[in-house]
Amino acid sequence: MNFIKKYFIAIFAILVCYAGVVEAKIKITCLADGGRYTKQHVPLAKLFNEMQSEIEVEYQSPAKNYGDIHIKLMRASVTKTLPDCAFQAFNQLPSLARALEARDQIVNFQDLFDTEKDGWVDENYSPAILGNGKVDGVQYGIPFNASLYQFYYNHELITKVGGKEEDFHTWDGVMGLAKKLRDNDITAFGGWLLHGDDWGWQMLITSQGGRLLDKNAGDKVTFNENDHGIKALTLLKRWHDEGGYDPDGVYKQMVTAFTEGNMGFFATSPAAATSLKKKVGGKFDLRSTTFAVWNEDGLLPTGGNAAVIMTKDPERMKAAWEYIKFVTGPKGQEFAAKTTGYLPTNKRALLPEYLGDYYKENPFFGIPGIQFDRAGPWVGYKGTQTQKIWKEQRSVIRSVMYGKTPIAEGALKLQKIAEELMEQ
């Protein structure tokens, strides 16, 4: 009887200890958009959960897109039901961060950086990359996915008209190549420009060395300084007049035309590399190259999203930081880059054992590594009217491209739209 009693006491003690271990596991919840949920977030969370036993990452039902993430987080902020972490688009991060900061619902990553060893930040992230996660000088986000404009081209069509890869490195070369294609009754080019957001417009400003807003306060429109706006609109009109670019073209139809071999070249994100290659198959020799910038000061606005932490509970905050360090670390970025084509946001990810050798062996996917130092900020307007600002600006840009609005007048209209709506 004593033996049985001791046996059950021992079993009970083991169960109590086991229960304590189970209860000690910290669970955190994250939110991401549906476009990246299945391919990236689910497998990365599974890998993280399997490689350690202290933290369990769970994802909420994915948002439809970046805009939906913004709406969900803003609502959750009011109801105090925010997830522990989320992945927010760079251009929508400013308005989110300012709203959450006012309610003490977002973490400054600098406080977490201070818990790491000396030099750790510099070993992993470049200042340019981290700049995409800063709002008003505060590190509210850590870039997870990043993309810079790049060109994809049909090598057979380009060589057929006497073009070469070097033509893509200057705007005069690009427009000259477009003319050669059109002279041979070939549709010159398409790509992301007036679709969805102002990524393309900002690209034409920052690639001259300009900025959408002033660098310090971020409350003054500066894209018309040094005639950057006029130069950008002048080039856009050339895109239409000389290159045949259709301001009202449907993006998906442009993709189809290019991947079917009926277009010379295409401009979009490196995130499209895998899907474009799959769609082209063996129809033609698909290649990629760097995007054109005006001068050595030119940068390209970085599209993509940043991880943010919203829990202020010390244990969950620490757990969320461990997860974000993993997904933005060399291994997580190797996975994300190989899966999608995105620019790696971690410097160590470019080492030979991660992406270095892979890029050498697969040059089609290697352009993000070449353009790593070109990564500039994708700036969001102050206030809550960013989407409305772009919607109205897009109409003006179309009008300029069609020749209905003079270039100088168009530049002033774009500035007026931004300045007035920033105050609402």
Residue 285 pLDDT > 90, yes or no?
Answer: yes
Q: 215 falls in which pLDDT band (50, 70, 90)?
A: confident
* pLDDT at 359 (0 to 100): 92
202-213 pLDDT per residue, tens: 999 999 999 999
* pLDDT at 19 (0 to 100): 47
Residue 415 pLDDT > 60, yes or no?
Answer: yes
- Pick the closest to residue 110 from 136, 88, 86, 76 (CA basis): 136
Domains belonging to the chain, first-starting first, are 28-147+303-376 (3.40.190.10), 150-301+382-422 (3.40.190.10)
374-383 pLDDT per residue, tens: 888 888 887 7
Instruction: Tell me the pLDDT of the chain averaged across its residues.
Output: 91
* pLDDT at 6 (0 to 100): 54
Of the candidate ranges 17-21, 153-157, 263-267, the one whose mean pLDDT is the lowest: 17-21
d(CA 227, CA 17): 70
Residue 109 pLDDT > 60, yes or no?
Answer: yes
* pLDDT at 2 (0 to 100): 57
Predicted TM-score (pTM) of this structure = 0.81
Which has the higher per-residue pLDDT, 329 or 340?
A: 329
Most confident of 70-84, 211-225, 371-385: 70-84
How is residue 289 written in tokens? 């190259």
- Pick the closest to residue 147 from 357, 302, 338, 337 (CA basis): 302
Instruction: Give mean pLDDT, residues 239-249.
Output: 92
* pLDDT at 309 (0 to 100): 98
Residue 388 pLDDT > 70, yes or no?
Answer: yes
Q: CB–CB of 400/410 below 8 Å?
A: yes
Residue 15 pLDDT > 60, yes or no?
Answer: no
Give whole-number Cα distances, 407 to 230, 375, 400, 413, in Å.
Answer: 6, 28, 6, 10
141-160 pLDDT per residue, tens: 999 999 999 999 999 999 99
Q: 136 falls in which pLDDT band (50, 70, 90)?
A: confident
Q: What HEC string does the chain produce? A: CHHHHHHHHHHHHHHHHHHHHHHHCEEEEEECEHHHHHHHHHHHHHHHHHHCCCEEEEECCCECCHHHHHHHHHHHHHHCCCCCEEEEEHHHHHHHHHHHHHCCCCCCHHHHHCCCCCCHHHHHCCHHHHHCCEECCEECCEEEEEECCEEEEEHHHHHHCCCCHHHHHCHHHHHHHHHHHHHCCCEEEEECCCCCCCHHHHHHHHCCCCCCECCCCCCCECCCHHHHHHHHHHHHHHHHHCCCCCCCCCHHHHHHHHHCCCEEEEEECHHHHHHHHHHHCCCCCEEEEECCCCCCCCCEECEEEEEEECCCCHHHHHHHHHHHHHHCCHHHHHHHHHHHCCECCCHHHHCHHHHHHHHHHCHHHCHHHHCHHHEECCCCCCCCCHHHHHHHHHHHHHHHHCCCCCHHHHHHHHHHHHHHHHCC
How is residue 31 written in tokens? 């939110």
* pLDDT at 20 (0 to 100): 47
* pLDDT at 5 (0 to 100): 56
Instruction: Give mean pLDDT, residues 33-52.
Output: 95
Q: 371 falls in which pLDDT band (50, 70, 90)?
A: confident
Task: Using the structure block, give the residue that is written with the tokens 């690209």.
Answer: 203
Instruction: Give mean pLDDT, residues 110-115.
Output: 97
Q: CB–CB of 135/97 below 8 Å?
A: yes
Most confident of 17-26, 189-198, 403-412: 403-412
Instruction: Give mean pLDDT, residues 55-74.
Output: 94
